[in-house]
Amino acid sequence: MKRTQSWIISWLIGVQISVSALIGITCFVCPLQAADLSFEAVAELGSSYIWRGIEFDSELSFQPNLTFAYALSDRTSVSINGWWNIALTDHDSSVWKDLYYEQDFTIDIDHEFTDRVSLSGGMIYYSAPKSDIEPGSDAYQTDEVFVSTDFSFGAGSLVSTLYYDFDLFDAFYFDLTVSYELSSREGLSLEPAIHLGFTDADDAWYLDKGLVDAKVSFTGSYDLSDHFFVGGSLNYSRRLDGFKDETGGDDSYLWAMASIGFAY
């Protein structure tokens, strides 16, 4: 079984790299055209902090993020994003809020190859700068590079993203997400989605290799004006790496997110 899962992971990695390289070669010859700068600020409140099927905080978290994007042409853009997690509950611990204060920074370049196919790639820096609480301990930090392809089919979308942690874990993570946008009126977006997560390492965040987490979500957003919007999501995820069997902890989570944002 494990040999089969390892073969699947290797195959997914190979396909992702091959497809991304094919699209990327074509992108480099595209001419640069108009330039444009955009900005987005979003404040999110989550009932839990769940990442790739792993529960980091079972109670309220505030998660703001800022994105600056620069259009290099009609189809190519580069962006910089900052994301923070701020625990709102201390769990009767004097150090909890410091341990789970997180700040991540992403740089990304995206190219729309056609109206239905796009490619993006970049790097993510993860850090928990206040987590070096114990004497002699180091604050958590690591780096990932990623490449992502997005194939649209009507109102549907298939996004595959390959992440490689080249710093702390030396591990791949493959994200496969299928979504479908339901739009009944202008300014309103409703989107159900299914996510599957795979990894090639059982010594990073997970207890086994192969398919390690799955998520079903329903996301909605509504434009209040040309620049302001509100949104929310309901999410159900489950760990598939044997976490409950080996630790006795929960392996499935139901949580919600609410957000308000400004885009210019």
Q: What is the pLDDT along the chain (264 residues), one digit of tens a residue?
A: 544 455 445 445 544 554 454 445 444 444 444 448 999 999 999 999 999 999 999 999 999 999 999 999 999 999 999 999 999 998 888 888 898 899 999 999 999 999 999 999 999 999 999 887 766 667 789 999 999 999 999 899 999 999 999 998 899 999 999 999 997 688 899 999 999 999 998 777 899 999 999 999 999 999 999 999 999 999 999 999 988 877 777 889 999 999 999 999
Task: Determine the pLDDT at residue 242.
Answer: 87
Tokens at residue 208, please?
Answer: 């086994």
* Domains observed in the chain: 2-263 (2.40.160.40)
Dist CA 6 CA 211 (whole Å): 10
Dist CA 200 CA 135 (whole Å): 33
Q: What is residue 105's three-state secondary structure?
A: strand
The CA-based angle 120-118-113, given to 5 degrees, is 115
In angstroms, the Cα distances linking 170 to 11, 67, 166, 212 are 18, 28, 5, 17
Dist CA 60 CA 48 (whole Å): 5
First to last CA, the chain: 50
The CA-based angle 214-219-221, given to 5 degrees, is 160
Task: Determine the pLDDT at residue 4.
Answer: 47
> pTM for the whole thing?
0.85
CB 244 within 8 A of CB 251: yes
Task: Determine the pLDDT at residue 245.
Answer: 73
Task: Determine the pLDDT at residue 29.
Answer: 45
